[in-house]
Amino acid sequence: MSYPTQFRYTKEHEWIDAKGGIATIGITDYAQHELGDVVFVELPAVGSSLITGKTFSSVESVKAVSEIYAPASGQVTEANSTLQNTPESINSDPHGAGWLVKVKLANPAELNSLMDAAAYEAYIEEKKKEASA
């Protein structure tokens, strides 16, 4: 799967897609593959605050709970409620239908310090090499 060039990426495998001052956040294809089948997702309430680097959600596979870290700060405007009944869309469409939340960004410039698609792809190539070394 190719990584959308308009997204920005974190080392913890979150993606963020900003349009104007509103950003959509999810986890990457690499992350969903590492996790395995997603069976449960916990999302923050609309109106709650995200703080950069702090956990705001958890995504659970059968075997593990994964905390999701906020790539940027802001206020939650929407949470993807379809994930309650179909958490597996995080596996099948992690960059699209599997989005987690939409936020009104407190400081859009924060995204400048995140990786672009090329940098993220290089980063996960390194990770894959480490894993099979």
Contacts 24+ apart (CB under 8 A), 12-17: 12/68, 12/69, 13/124, 14/68, 14/69, 14/70, 14/71, 15/71, 15/95, 16/71, 16/72, 16/111, 16/114
Site string for other proteins, 71-90 (x = CB under 8 A): -------------x------
Report in angstroms how near the CB of residue 33 gets to other proteins at its nearest.
7
Task: List the one residue from 7, 69, 99, 120 that touches other proteins (CB under 8 A).
Answer: 69
**Using rule CB under 8 A, residue 34 touches other proteins:** yes
CA distances from 131 to 29, 116, 128 (A): 17, 23, 5
**Using rule CB under 8 A, residue 122 touches other proteins:** no
- Torsion angle of the four alpha carbons 95, 99, 105, 106, in this order, in degrees rounded to the nearest 10: -120
Residue 60 CA to residue 42 CA, distance in Å, equals 8
Task: List the one residue from 58, 73, 75, 86 that touches other proteins (CB under 8 A).
Answer: 58
Report in angstroms how near the CB of residue 2 gets to other proteins at its nearest.
19
Residue 110 CA to residue 119 CA, distance in Å, equals 17
Report in angstroms how near the CB of residue 97 gets to other proteins at its nearest.
18
**Using rule CB under 8 A, residue 40 touches other proteins:** yes
Q: Which is nearer to other proteins, 10 or 23 (CB)?
A: 10
User: Interface residues with other proteins (CB under 8 A)?
Assistant: 12-14, 27, 31, 33-37, 39-40, 42, 58-69, 84, 127, 130-133
